Structure 1
Amino acid sequence: MKKILIVEDEKAIGKVLSAYLRKEGFEIMLAENGRQALDLFAEWKPALVLLDVMLPGFDGWELLSRIRSQSSCPVIMLTALGQVEQKLKGFSGGADDYITKPFAPEEVVARVHAILRRPSPMMDTDSVYFGSLKIDFHAHTVSLHGTQLDLLPRDLSLLLFLAKHPNQTLTREQLLDYVWGIEYEGSDRAVDLSIKRLRQVLREWDEEEGEIKTLRGLGYQFSVYK
């Protein structure tokens, strides 16, 4: 039974989410503030965290940062702040998804299932070198031959996700769920365009070290050889 930690100071919301997720077979723990959540996270080791932004004590952004300093456990942010800049802040801080209040509990359940269906990362470390390509997963930076690359936020998120799953084939649906969010209703052509931009930025990456492969009819693969 997978464990989910809900960090929410509004008791009514916490109870509703707990009830819906327990119906889906999850084991649930509730925390009402950041300090309690950190203690439960370290002790209980959940498979996923539902994290409210507005918390007493230190807020959800600070808690997200502390979680990311020790784990790649999936985190879904829950907040009434729906502006684009807030979403970008969440994603750049390492959030896996972002749900704006008010929301339907069924939507939260669907997103939890979507994220837990993703392949588990093969690494949980700060920096990894793929030959001359260096990726820092905690600082969210990418360098090639010692020079930091300037990437669009979504292109960066896509590259980080691919690089956490080297030599695994990922479908467009998986990539859309992670980078664009489960609520995205546009064309999956967005993935192809982002991959095209990444290949252009990585054009000086030695082909003997790695590449982003297209597997026709299947998806994409971050293939590494060194």
Structure 2
Amino acid sequence: MFASQSYAKVGTADLAKAAGVSEPALYRYFSGKKELFLATLRSTGPKLLEIWQNIASDVDDPLETLWSIGVHYYDNVQSHSGSMKLQFKALSEADDPEIREALREAFGAFVDFVAETLDEGKLRGIVRRDVDSRLVAWQFLSIGLTLDLIHLLGFSSDIDRDGVERWGRGYLETLGTPRGRRGIGPAARTISELVAPQSLVE
């Protein structure tokens, strides 16, 4: 409901109807619309992070982990459209301290995960030691946001799976040592073999 309509226009009666419960029943669990919005918002980040962790557990190389996460995100951009719309709507309400903090928690966790993956790559001689892990982590998230915009605004014909793979390889190869630049991206294994697609909160 929050993903398909603006936060300001959604009422508790609409939310109760969408959930299949009475409005009084909704108030037994949530004090109002804002608390329910925050609960929904806070649930989306951990779900996406869990997908990333599942991919990381199946891929040994840190740079290949990031490549696999990126291609998986592209492959499932339609299935998590509800989640991305919710995030964009929340950003428009970021002047609210509680909504801003919920977004900070989610994006902070994403940045931490990517930065830690890069730091592991540095320790293993795969990622260049001069790479600013947190700055690159934000760049990595910006690629995901770009894929979201391409999908939401109807520019999907501008890029296909092969293009995403080339983009990802080219980007990650700039971060790697000569050792780390060898063969980013599995040639035979598809991302669907690495992790089963999961739909996020619509």
Band the TM-score falls in, shorter-chain normalisation: 0.3 to 0.5
What is the TM-score when the length of structure 2 is the normalising length?
Answer: 0.38
- More strand as a share of residues: 1
- More helix as a share of residues: 2
Structure of higher CA gyration radius: 2
What is the TM-score when the length of structure 1 is the normalising length?
Answer: 0.35
Question: Highest relative contact order (Cα 8 Å, sep 6+), 1 or 2?
Answer: 2
